[in-house]
Amino acid sequence: MIKNIVVISDTHFGCQLALCKKIRLDHGGHYDPSRIQKVLYNWWQKFWGEWMPEATRGEDFILVHNGDIIDGIHHKSTTQISHNINDQKNLAIEMLEPIIALPHCKGYYQIRGTEAHAGQAQEYEENIAQQLGAIPNEDGQYSRYDLWLKFGKHKLLAHFSHHIGTTNSASYESTAVHKELIEAYVEAGRWGVQPPDCVCRSH
């Protein structure tokens, strides 16, 4: 059983402040990344080319994207490289395809993010996940609201979901995570099922 799970999230492809490479837009023009985006792209390359092989010891891994692949058109913002959703989708696919194609990547799961970014029915992420060949759930959906995944020789259980409570106070930053863990343990005890060893949230 595969023991390495690599989790990325909130890539917000399509935002001028997010990871990006030079791309061709729908009407034939091109978008050149900013200085900050070039730095992010360099870190992205180093992460997958240097850090990842070392961290996984060159072993196989499962990729989980924990929501908000693209930025979408949200909150009346004007910070997108394009308000054409297809431009944002194409960028996401261009950025993620080489990762999913890595020899040691043995599967890709897509978690659904926030409707402001992923579409009112998370249709943007569903479409991208389908094009990238995400592992579908039992209902044939290529993106999902949550994921239970066992990994490692001891069959540890991880639970993935995008949303979690937030706070403006540094004093309560750990409260939402602690609440998630307590609720997971209570539900597992109530239903007599295995509790998660790891709870992964984003947002």
User: In this predicted model, what pLDDT tens digit does every residue of 62-87 receive, in sequence order?
Assistant: 999 999 999 988 878 888 899 999 99
pLDDT at residue 172 in the model: 77
In a domain, 27, yes or no: yes
**77: containing domain:** 5-145
For 15-66, what is each residue's pLDDT tens digit? 999 999 999 998 889 999 999 999 999 999 999 999 999 999 999 999 999 9
3-class SS of residue 23: strand
Residues facing residue 148 across a β-bridge: 159
- CB of 89 closer than 8 Å to CB of 117: no
The predicted pLDDT at position 73 comes to 85
- Answer yes or no: is 134 within a domain: yes
Residue 169 is assigned to a structural domain of this protein: no
User: Rounded CA gap, 127 and 123, in Å?
Assistant: 6
In a domain, 160, yes or no: no
* Cα dihedral across residues 185, 172, 6, 137: positive or negative: positive
Q: So what's the pLDDT on residue 63?
A: 98
Tell me how far CA of residue 172 lies from CA of 40, 113, 167, 175, in angstroms.
29, 23, 7, 5
Q: How many CB atoms lie within 10 A of CB 169?
A: 7
List the 146-151 sheet strands across, edge first. Answer: 146-151, 156-161, 198-200
CA atoms of 71 and 124, how far apart (whole Å): 10
Strand 146-151 versus strand 156-161 pairing type: antiparallel
Inform me whether the pLDDT recorded for 165 exceeds 80.
Answer: no
* Cα 66 → chain centroid: 3
Has residue 184 been placed in a domain?
no
What's the chain's length in residues? 203
Q: Which residue has the tokens 């990994």?
A: 151
What is the C-alpha to C-alpha distance for residues 37 and 180, in angstroms, rounded to an integer?
33
CB 81 within 8 A of CB 87: yes
Entry pTM: 0.92
Domain count, the chain: 1
And the tokens for 33? 């990344």
Task: Classify residue 195: in a domain, yes or no.
Answer: no
